[in-house]
């Protein structure tokens, strides 16, 4: 996973050799203080390139994550503690951010933008997304009293709509009418692609289930949009520092979850009980996709994130045909068609707004 920072290229717009590596090397000569991010003032082409790379990385990582989950379920290797795994994911993300920072410090020296030390004003907002996710994950235990697991998969598509609404409300960036139409289609298309003969059960969900599903969608959407707001608030701040602080609080909250939920199991059976190769791969993959999500927030936005993860869902199904002999349903083809049209409309919607 390539998640190094790409530097300002104000002095070298549209240069021939503007691939990531050459940008990185050239930027070594850029003076201190201007060692900023792609977010502010770098040229459009490298911006676009960076956005494409992180989006592509997120799509592939999300897709392989889902494949690892299917694999682990089929191999019946699900006896490890989820809370310890989540804690390790946050720890790994933290370490990877520090490693990236160490490299940057060695090459460029410590600057205002890439130093780890921070102010209370800057750091005070970082626990909020982690706290929101914690509340959402707690709710997840209760919603299963009203909805079964396949039904929950269907209801999770409400995240798409909540992200769109909160994105426009909180970040004040307007989606065009066509982009809104595309977003509704994305939600309908993803749900259609996941339809199976028992999906109609979801319509019998009691109102408590609907309310919880909507609250969870809002929490998840809000956490995503809030993370974007935090990261974008300081465009010149190095993304690895921003990630470090996000993940430190992720570690803290997940350590709390271990204490509350799995303290006895960890004490009796050990921290790594039930871990296998698949578990390690899943932790690695989760860590990398977590970093990819942060990168998408920095260089793109929540809308791109939703598209990337939706396309990943379709990609997973196609890959599963070859890996696990899955059959694709007619609903899957129809849903994929709708999602494809949605991606197209989103891209042309930008031009006409």
Any contact of residue 177 with a second copy (CB under 8 A)? Answer: yes
Question: Interface residues for a second copy in 202-241 (CB under 8 A)?
Answer: 202-203
Token pair for 240: 């690895």
Phi, psi of 173 (to 5 degrees): -105, 120
| Burial of 116 (C-beta count, 10 Å sphere; 0-12/13-18/19+) | middle
Closer residue to a second copy in complex, CB, 120/330:
330
Any contact of residue 330 with a second copy (CB under 8 A)? Answer: yes
Element of type H or E holding 110: none
Any contact of residue 149 with a second copy (CB under 8 A)? Answer: no
Any contact of residue 147 with a second copy (CB under 8 A)? Answer: no
Closer residue to a second copy in complex, CB, 47/346:
346
Closest CA to 198 of 148, 160, 143: 148
Question: Interface residues for a second copy in 264-323 (CB under 8 A)?
Answer: none
Closer residue to a second copy in complex, CB, 190/257:
190
Among 191, 220, 240, 289, binds a second copy (CB under 8 A): 191
Any contact of residue 192 with a second copy (CB under 8 A)? Answer: yes
Q: How far is the CB of 312 from a second copy (least distance, A)?
A: 20
> Which residue intervals of the chain are DSSP H helices?
20-26, 44-74, 82-108, 120-123, 127-143, 149-155, 158-170, 177-193, 207-233, 239-257, 263-269, 277-299, 302-324, 330-352
Alpha carbon 11 to its chain's center: 32
**Per-residue exposure over 243-265, b if at least 16 CB sit within 10 Å of its own CB, e if not:** bbbbbbbbbebbbebbeeebeeb
Among 92, 239, 308, 338, binds a second copy (CB under 8 A): 338
What string of DSSP letters covers 273-304?
Answer: TT--HHHHHHHHHHHHHHHHHHHHHHHS-HHH
Place of tokens 């390139």: 49
Q: How far is the CB of 352 from a second copy (least distance, A)?
A: 6
Any contact of residue 164 with a second copy (CB under 8 A)? Answer: no
Among 29, 106, 197, 268, binds a second copy (CB under 8 A): 197
Closer residue to a second copy in complex, CB, 21/177:
177
The radius of gyration computed from the CA coordinates of the chain, to the nearest angstrom, equals: 21
What single-letter DSSP state applies at residue 237?
Answer: S
Over the window 111 to 130, marking each residue x when it contacts a second copy by CB under 8 A and - when it does not, the resulting string is --------------------
Rounded distance, CA 240 to CA 114, Å?
8
Closer residue to a second copy in complex, CB, 26/156:
156
Any contact of residue 337 with a second copy (CB under 8 A)? Answer: yes
Specify the stretch interacting with a second copy by CB under 8 A; choose among 12-20, 186-194, 238-246, 296-304.
Answer: 186-194
- Binding-site size, a second copy (CB under 8 A): 30
Q: How long is the chain?
A: 353
Over the window 23 to 62, marking each residue x when it contacts a second copy by CB under 8 A and - when it does not, the resulting string is ----------------------------------------
Specify the stretch interacting with a second copy by CB under 8 A; choose among 187-195, 242-250, 262-270, 276-284.
Answer: 187-195
| Burial of 19 (C-beta count, 10 Å sphere; 0-12/13-18/19+) | exposed
Binding residues (CB under 8 A) for a second copy: these are 154, 177-178, 181, 184-185, 188-189, 191-192, 195, 197, 199-200, 202-203, 327, 329-331, 333-335, 337-338, 341, 344-345, 348, 352
């Amino acid at each position: 996973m390539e998640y190094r920072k790409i530097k300002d290229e104000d002095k070298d717009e549209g240069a021939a050799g503007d691939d990531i590596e050459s940008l990185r090397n050239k930027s070594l000569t850029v003076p201190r203080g201007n060692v900023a991010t792609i977010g502010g003032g770098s040229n459009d082409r490298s911006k676009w390139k960076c956005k494409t790379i992180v989006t592509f990385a997120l799509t592939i990582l999300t897709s392989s994550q889902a494949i690892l989950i299917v694999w682990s379920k089929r191999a019946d290797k699900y006896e490890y503690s989820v809370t310890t795994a989540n804690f390790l994911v946050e720890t790994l993300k933290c370490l990877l951010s520090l490693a990236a920072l160490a490299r940057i410090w060695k090459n460029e020296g410590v600057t205002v933008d890439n130093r780890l030390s921070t102010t209370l004003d800057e750091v005070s907002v970082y626990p909020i997304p982690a706290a929101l996710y914690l509340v959402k994950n707690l709710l997840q235990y209760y919603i299963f009293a009203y909805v079964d697991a396949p039904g929950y998969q269907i209801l999770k598509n409400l995240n798409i709509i909540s992200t769109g609404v909160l994105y426009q409300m909180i970040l004040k960036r307007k989606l065009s009418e066509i982009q809104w139409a595309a977003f509704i289609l994305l939600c309908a298309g993803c749900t259609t692609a996941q339809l199976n003969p028992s999906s109609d059960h979801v319509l019998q969900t009691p109102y408590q289930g609907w309310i919880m599903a909507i609250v969870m969608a809002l929490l998840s959407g809000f956490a995503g949009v809030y993370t974007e707001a935090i990261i974008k608030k300081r465009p010149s701040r190095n993304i690895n520092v921003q990630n470090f602080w996000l993940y430190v609080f992720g570690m803290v909250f997940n350590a709390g979850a271990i204490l509350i939920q799995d303290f006895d199991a960890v004490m009796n059976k050990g921290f790594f009980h039930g871990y296998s190769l698949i578990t390690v791969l899943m932790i690695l993959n989760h860590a990398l996709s977590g970093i990819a999500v942060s990168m998408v927030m920095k260089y793109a936005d929540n809308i791109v994130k939703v598209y990337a993860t939706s396309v990943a869902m379709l990609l997973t199904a196609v890959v599963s045909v070859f890996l696990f002999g899955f059959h694709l349903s007619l609903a899957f083809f129809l849903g994929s068609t709708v999602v494809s049209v949605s991606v197209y409309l989103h891209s042309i919607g930008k031009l006409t707004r």
